[in-house]
Amino acid sequence: MERMRRVGLAGFVIVALVAGLSIRPVAQGTSLTVLSREGRKPLALTSINNQDYVSVDDINTLFATTSRDDRQAGALTITARTRNVVLSENQNIVSVSGRLVSLPAPPVRRDNRWFVPVDFLPRALALALESRIDLRRPSRLLIVGDLRVPRVVARVDAGPTNVVVTFDVTPNTESRVVAQQGRLLLQFEADALELVAPTLPPQTFLLGLAAGDTGASVLLTTGPRYASHRVSTSQADAGSGRVTIDLLPSTTIETPSPTAPPPPDTRTLLVPQGPSTGLRTVVIDPGHGGEELGAQGPKGTLEKDITLSVARRLRTLIESRLGLKVYLTREDDRTMSLDDRSAFANSHQADVFLSIHGNAAVRPALKGAEVYYLTVERADEETRKRADDDATVLPALGGGSRTINLILWETAQARYLEQSAALAGFVERALSTKVEMSPRAMQQAPFRVLVGANMPAALVEIGYLSNVDQETQLGSAEYQDLVAQALMDALVKFREFLEP
Amino acid sequence: MIAGTVVVAIGLAYALFSGLSRVLTGPTPDAAAGAGAPSAPAAATAPVVPKIKATLFFASEDGLRLAPVQSDVPLADGPVAQARAIVEAQLTAEPPAALARTIPAGVTLRGLFVSQNNEAFVDLDPSIKSGHPGGSLQELLTVYTIVNVLLTNLPTLQQVQILIDGHEADTLAGHVDLRRPLRKNEGLIQPSNTTPAVTLPSPSPQ
């Protein structure tokens, strides 16, 4: 408790303590890394019934809470400051000063020690401590208090001679690049980073990409062929920003640079060139991932792998041909909730959201692609009206006020249904020119991933993994390219539709 | 924001579990007592169990839709018990030769409640999720078998929400939104003139 109270007082002095907190991509160990103003500490995870649990003893040590075990009642009371959290064995609802909070699994007592699901920390303990506790499951990070820990997703694309490193930063955070001997340091105005680093392509002069050891930074290690770099940042009005570092080799620097007709990074250049359309940012959602395998073909092909591969191909096509900003909801094989996927599209202010899936049926003969947009279950007009009405005036930074539209998550997609239907229509037509369609090529369904999308959105089933022939097709580069090409064609049509 | 969502979700879950008798209508003794226990299955042991004709659903021959099939289901005392009997019949019934199951075999009903707004809450055991093969179409067929079997046979019911292991769930297999009650999906039902004239080989017709 003492420790938590000091948090606010320590101020910037302690930022120095936090220096060096950058996190390695995804910690594989069985512990969480707890980040607070005090520094970095491990918190052991115990797997019980395939869920991550933490021991209450460890929580007491880390958060200066106390606990009292009432064996007769099968209950445990955790006291945090002045608030009590009451847990009952095998009951996955806990009480925080009388307020009920659900857990994904019940607390467990083992060998006289209590264990709680890891979600207990952000859901219940945060309420009791009146402190922000942010659990970032994929990175096994637990952030306590108001630390600035942006998520930085790095991507490396090897060009013919150059190497382009792209960092998507959420929330958008100021940064600068410092060149040092044999390396570049990308330094963020933050307390720490949640860095997702990719595997580097072989045989380039980018030798390493890792968390830097001085504060919230990323360290790029360059080989002798590196000569110079160019940095561009796109600080969109969205919650995210993008930093692109173009690394140029020593042999070819002078030839393309002076006039630079086709610069390697088309993203930042093609956007302003294009006509002013309503389509600037596309979010592609590779369905499933991590523990959520999705459908599985008879030969073992996994939906989650196919969807990621198609999404990457589609991104490359759109970026190079249309010059739009493209973000994937997941860059790798990770578990991600459906609401997080649409939230990602919302926070990136996407103009279109496409979720990519592979299908399965009880009838092995069934094959073909399908497109879905959302059914709204309740009275559509009422929902949409409510979505349009909720304008709210908020104070703006620097004085004055601005009106923003606040909408309920459940009504977000309702106002885009007509555009989503049009989008689905373009996707269906474009796909039908390239690949076989299912007998029910376009449908509506109450799909969760579309519900919260605050933009035109569709879900594409690119084929049936349950059909042996189609499973082979779906795994092939040719088929995946055909699908990606069709989806890009559909986006071109949709752009014309938005801005005739 | 997350806390808000959580609290709403819990409110519902908690109401379902602790305050049923106050919150819910219907033949309450049965609704409250039968939460975990399966009510009398369509066993051939009881000699004179009156039956009603009910429509059950299976995957159509082409696998794209739900084919309605007339079947005998035990008559139960009151709409909630009848709803339970219908869902249990759907879970255990073997499909006619040309059709296929839409729900993994062995899934059991943990409980079924009806709210004042005539929304049915169908609580299924977790094998409905763990045993599901995945895929949007298959998930749609599974979910709407449950939803349609209730809303087709018990017209007073308006909507159906599926719970898994006593809790609200996002989805069964990553697609269909289960956080809200669902209406009947007529579009997924195969038109009856193409329904194969097969009767269910179920226990003794009355």
The verdict on a CB contact (< 8 Å) between A362 and B6 is no
pLDDT at residue A99 is higher than 70 = yes
pLDDT for A270: 21
Q: How confident is the model over A375-403, as a mean pLDDT? A: 56
Lowest mean pLDDT among A48-52, A299-303, B38-42: B38-42
Q: What is the percent of chain A with per-residue pLDDT over 70, rounded to a whole number?
A: 81
Q: How confident is the model over A212-223, as a mean pLDDT? A: 80
pLDDT for A22: 38
Of B10, B59, B183, which has the smallest distance from its Cβ to A100's Cβ? B10
For residue A12, the distance in angstroms to the closest alpha carbon of chain B comes to 28
Q: What is the percent of chain B with per-residue pLDDT over 90, rounded to a whole number?
A: 63
Q: Which residues of B sit within 8 Å Cβ distance of A?
A: 2-3, 5-7, 9-11, 13-14, 59, 61-64, 100-102, 133-138, 140-141, 159, 167, 170-171, 173-183, 187
For residue A10, the distance in angstroms to the closest alpha carbon of chain B comes to 28
pLDDT for A489: 96
Q: How confident is the model over A443-467, as a mean pLDDT? A: 94
pLDDT for B29: 38
pLDDT for A372: 96
Of A370, A410, A448, which has the smallest distance from its Cβ to B171's Cβ? A448
pLDDT for A311: 97
- The model's confidence at residue B202, banded by pLDDT at 50, 70 and 90, is very low
Question: Which of B2, B137, B5, B151 shows the shortest CA–CA distance to A377?
Answer: B151
pLDDT for B163: 95
Chain A residue nearest residue B65, CA to CA: A440
Taking contacts as CB-CB distances below 8 angstroms, the residues of chain A near B180 are 377, 410, 446
Lowest mean pLDDT among A144-148, A160-164, B24-28: B24-28
pLDDT for A237: 54
pLDDT at residue A466 is higher than 70 = yes
| Residues A365, A326: Cα–Cα separation, whole Å | 35
pLDDT at residue A117 is higher than 60 = yes
pLDDT for A111: 84
pLDDT, averaged across chain B: 78
pLDDT for A149: 85
- The model's confidence at residue A210, banded by pLDDT at 50, 70 and 90, is confident
Q: How confident is the model over A29-39, as a mean pLDDT? A: 81
Q: Which residues pair with A292 in a beta bridge?
A: A289
Q: Judge if ipTM > 0.85.
A: no
Of A99, A360, A445, which has the smallest distance from its Cβ to B176's Cβ? A445
pLDDT at residue B24 is higher than 80 = no
pLDDT for B1: 43
The verdict on a CB contact (< 8 Å) between A445 and B136 is yes
For residue A229, the distance in angstroms to the closest alpha carbon of chain B comes to 42
pLDDT for A207: 84
The verdict on a CB contact (< 8 Å) between B7 and A101 is yes
Residue B76, SS3 per DSSP: coil
pLDDT at residue A404 is higher than 60 = no
Taking contacts as CB-CB distances below 8 angstroms, the residues of chain A near B9 are 102
Of B101, B138, B170, which has the smallest distance from its Cβ to A360's Cβ? B138
pLDDT for A407: 61
Chain A interface, mutation test: which of B177, B178, B188, most A Cβ atoms within 10 Å? B177
Taking contacts as CB-CB distances below 8 angstroms, the residues of chain B near A457 are none
H helix runs in B19-106, sequence order: 20-23, 28-33, 79-92
Choose between A188 and A484: higher pLDDT.
A484
Q: How confident is the model over B151-165, as a mean pLDDT? A: 95
pLDDT for A385: 56
Q: How confident is the model over A299-307, as a mean pLDDT? A: 96
* Eight-state DSSP code of residue B182: B
Lowest mean pLDDT among A303-312, A319-328, B35-44, B164-173: B35-44
pLDDT at residue B75 is higher than 70 = yes
Of B3, B9, B136, which has the smallest distance from its Cβ to A357's Cβ? B136
Q: How many CB atoms lie within 10 A of CB A108?
A: 18
Choose between A25 and A438: higher pLDDT.
A438
| Residues A200, A207: Cα–Cα separation, whole Å | 8
pLDDT at residue A262 is higher than 70 = no
pLDDT at residue A21 is higher than 60 = no
pLDDT at residue A180 is higher than 80 = no
Lowest mean pLDDT among A364-378, B72-86, B146-160: A364-378
Lowest mean pLDDT among A106-110, A265-269, A400-404, B195-199: A265-269
Interface of A with B in 98-117 (CB under 8 A): 99-102
Q: Is A447 on the interface with B (CB under 8 A)?
A: yes
pLDDT for A397: 55
Q: How confident is the model over B8-32, as a mean pLDDT? A: 40
Taking contacts as CB-CB distances below 8 angstroms, the residues of chain A near B159 are 377
The verdict on a CB contact (< 8 Å) between A370 and B137 is yes
For residue A366, the distance in angstroms to the closest alpha carbon of chain B comes to 7
Taking contacts as CB-CB distances below 8 angstroms, the residues of chain B near A359 are 135-138
The verdict on a CB contact (< 8 Å) between A102 and B13 is yes
B7 close to A98: Cβ distance less than 8 angstroms: no
pLDDT, averaged across chain A: 81
Interface of A with B in 449-468 (CB under 8 A): 449, 451, 459, 461, 464-466
For residue B53, the distance in angstroms to the closest alpha carbon of chain A comes to 27
- The model's confidence at residue A329, banded by pLDDT at 50, 70 and 90, is very high
pLDDT at residue B13 is higher than 80 = no
pLDDT for A401: 58
Q: How confident is the model over A263-269, as a mean pLDDT? A: 28
CA distances for A210 relative to A242, A272, A408, angstroms: 18, 32, 39
Cβ neighbours for A243, distance < 8 A, ≥ 6 positions apart? A166, A167, A169, A175, A186, A231, A232, A233
Chain A residue nearest residue B133, CA to CA: A295
Of A89-98, A481-490, B31-40, highest mean pLDDT: A481-490
Per-residue pLDDT reduced to its tens digit, A224-244:
788 888 888 876 555 778 888
pLDDT for A6: 46
pLDDT at residue A52 is higher than 70 = yes
The verdict on a CB contact (< 8 Å) between A294 and B174 is yes
Choose between B60 and A138: higher pLDDT.
B60
Interface of A with B in 17-46 (CB under 8 A): none
Cβ neighbours for A164, distance < 8 A, ≥ 6 positions apart? A156, A157, A244, A245, A246, A247, A264, A265
Q: Is A122 on the interface with B (CB under 8 A)?
A: yes
Taking contacts as CB-CB distances below 8 angstroms, the residues of chain A near B64 are 361, 366, 438-440
Taking contacts as CB-CB distances below 8 angstroms, the residues of chain A near B133 are 295-296, 360, 362, 466
Chain A residue nearest residue B7, CA to CA: A101
pLDDT at residue B124 is higher than 70 = yes
Q: How confident is the model over B134-157, as a mean pLDDT? A: 96
Torsion of CA B25, B30, B34, B35, to 10 degrees: 10
Q: How confident is the model over B5-18, as a mean pLDDT? A: 44
Q: Is A361 on the interface with B (CB under 8 A)?
A: yes
Q: How many CB atoms lie within 10 A of CB B50?
A: 10
pLDDT at residue B81 is higher than 90 = yes
pLDDT for B32: 38
